[in-house]
Amino acid sequence: MPSISDLDHENPVGLSSKQIQSIAIIGGGASAAIILDTLLKEPDSNIRKIVIYERQDKLGGVWYLNPQTIKTPNHIIKSGNINFENDPQLANPFHDAEELTNEIRLPRNNQERFLQTPSYHGIKTNIIENMMTYSDNRNWGVEGNDRDGKYVVGTVVQKYIESYVNQNLNNSKVKLSLNSTVEDVERIDRSDDVELQYRFKLTVREELKDSTQDRWYQEEFDSVIVATGHYHVPFIPHVPGLKNLQEKYPDLVQHAKFYRSSEPYKGKTAIVVGSRASGSDLTKFIAREPGTKVYQSIRNYERTKVLSSKTNVESKPPIASIELLNSESNKQKIKVLFEDGSIVYDPDHIIYCTGYLFSYPYLNRLFNNSITHEGMTVSNLYQHTFLVNEPLITIIGVPIDGISFRVFEYQAILLSRYITGKIRLPSRNEQIQWVNNRYDEKSNTRLYHTIGVVDALPYAQTLVRLGQVSSKTKVGREFPIMTEAEVQEYKEAGEKLRKFWDER
């Protein structure tokens, strides 16, 4: 099989229409739903098998509200940890098997795999309906208590995604595997007459219901599409003294991923770190509980200062340090020092709404632990979709803050045309140059994969340009039309939502 150094860096990158016959889609959320539908609509393809692997017991991705919740695992999600520390790859039991076998049953694995989604009671969409839904079904399909104008509660989105996938499950090419976590992806040689020199062997761990065991099995595919999004592995930034606090008072430090309702915070003092969607929501919800006091720590404090009009909410700059005090000589036990010199003693909760790390543990061995840059960005990912050095593994759903489902749809159309051999990408040299330019501009930060209001339309137009085909080429789904007026409507709605967020 070819090594990375063998790959042609000068010529355009493409596949023939007959090369890809089987595809694994990892993830069962919004990006998986649209790539499945788009692949099936693509004519003149040779695709015979598509399997969706979803580790939850239900479709919907991050919009699925787990019936069971757990406490923040502070023994794993430590202050400043990167993705490899929080979310390591498991050993592949087939590597040590004494004889060839297609299935292995082992005791339930206890490694934290962050199955819980970040959905919580009261979560609502923050993108207008017309721009968040897929272009062929622009209505959530609900009225009444589940709808707030152009916005809906999270359970509606989960049902929308589930329905979108379900419409294709009667297709004989499609298989859905729930409760199934992909734990390893390996390249293997192939000896058939297909032009490709290798394919992929996936090792999957299925949690067996009503059992204390996991079923491990393996399947082979020509191509792998990663559609897991970016809200799985929590990130808590480094703060001096925070690790000590996590060790001594593990129930005090929390991450927003494990928040479910505001009721436990009644009569408590909480510090909420973050001012984006989850930070704003949690501040709002907790402040509604009787007897609460909420301090909201804001990164851009000097520019923002006040986010809430509620009397029991006080804005603060970032936390400078956390100190555990000598309880014998002090009435207070915990001292939280903010960058402006102000102090909060003995909060009942510190909730970090500080985002997530990109993590693909099943690709760690294949990419020698270089699939991400410490979980902050995905390495060598051209247009946030194509791995420069691996043409048969692609990723959909990476863009942050984009127009959500609509961005995924543009990615899905481009990706489907690439997989079915209808388009060719720029040479690897050009792709690498794009990656390097992006790092020069954004560095290894959240901004690298951020597609905000300003970038939404240019990014969509770029994907359309890359996906252009000749008039003689038959295609399935067409790129939706995104207009300046729609983007402006999305922008204005977002500004209004932020202005009145604590009144919703």
pLDDT at 402: 72
Q: Does 1 fall in a domain?
A: no
Do residue 272 and residue 391 come from a single domain? no
**Same-domain pairing of 313 and 398:** no
Query: Does 501 fall in a domain?
Result: no
Domain that holds residue 376: 18-233+356-493
Q: Are residues 50 and 155 in the same domain?
A: yes
pLDDT at res. 231: 87
Q: Are residues 276 and 337 in the same domain?
A: yes
- Count the Cβ atoms, other than its own, within 10 Å of residue 317: 18
Nearest to 417 by CA among 9, 19, 20, 39: 39
Assess contact for 388 and 379: CB atoms under 8 A: no
Q: Is residue 64 part of a domain?
A: yes
- Give the residues across from 61 on adjacent strands: none
Amino acid 4: pLDDT = 46
Domain boundary among 354, 373, 391: 354
Regarding whether 305 and 217 lie in a shared domain, the answer is no
pLDDT of residue 1: 38
* Among 244, 159, 138, 232, residue whose Cα is nearest residue 482: 138
Task: Give me the half-sphere count of Cα atoms (radius 13 Å) on the Cβ side of residue 26.
Answer: 27
The phi-psi region of residue 174 (left if phi > 0; otherwise alpha if psi is between -120 and 50; otherwise beta) is: beta
pLDDT at residue number 230: 85
Residue 10 lies in a domain: no
What does the chain come to in residues?
504
Maximum pairwise Cα distance, the chain: 82
- Residue 294 and residue 283 in contact, taking contact as beta carbons nearer than 8 Å: yes
Q: Under a CB-based contact definition with an 8 Å cutoff, are residues 139 and 133 in contact?
A: yes
pLDDT at 104: 96
Same domain, 118 and 42: yes
Per-residue pLDDT at 2:
42
What is the value of pTM for the model shown? 0.94
Look at residue 72 and tell me if it is in a domain.
yes
- Answer whether residue 297 is part of any domain: yes
215 in the same domain as 240: no
Domain membership flag for residue 499:
no
Tell me what pLDDT residue 425 has.
97
What is the residue-level pLDDT of the chain in tens, covering all 504 positions? 344 445 678 888 888 878 899 999 999 999 999 999 999 999 999 999 999 999 999 999 999 999 887 889 999 999 999 888 899 999 999 999 888 888 999 999 988 888 889 999 889 998 899 889 999 999 998 888 788 878 999 999 999 999 999 999 999 999 999 999 999 999 999 877 667 789 999 999 999 988 899 999 999 999 999 999 888 899 999 999 999 999 999 999 999 999 999 999 999 999 999 988 889 899 999 999 999 999 999 988 776 655 677 899 999 999 999 999 987 777 889 999 999 999 999 999 999 999 999 999 999 999 999 999 999 999 999 999 999 999 999 999 999 887 889 999 999 999 999 999 999 999 999 999 999 999 999 999 999 999 988 899 999 999 999 999 999 999 999 999 998 998 888 888 878 777 655 655
Question: 116 and 262 share a domain?
Answer: no
Judge if 397 and 347 occupy the same domain. no
Residue 423 included in any domain: yes
Q: How many domains does the chain have?
A: 2
> The CATH number of the domain where 250 resides is what?
3.50.50.60
Instruction: Tell me, yes or no, whether 220 and 185 share the same domain.
Output: yes
Domain final residue pick, 307, 339, 354:
354
Predicted pLDDT of residue 10 = 84
Asked which of 354, 382, 417 is the last residue of a domain, the reply is 354
Same structural domain for residues 440 and 376? yes
State whether 300 and 393 are in the same domain. Answer: no
Q: What is the pLDDT of residue 344?
A: 97
Residue-level pLDDT at 457: 92
300, 341, 447 from 318: Cα distances, Å: 8, 11, 19
Please tell me the predicted confidence (pLDDT) of residue 307: 67
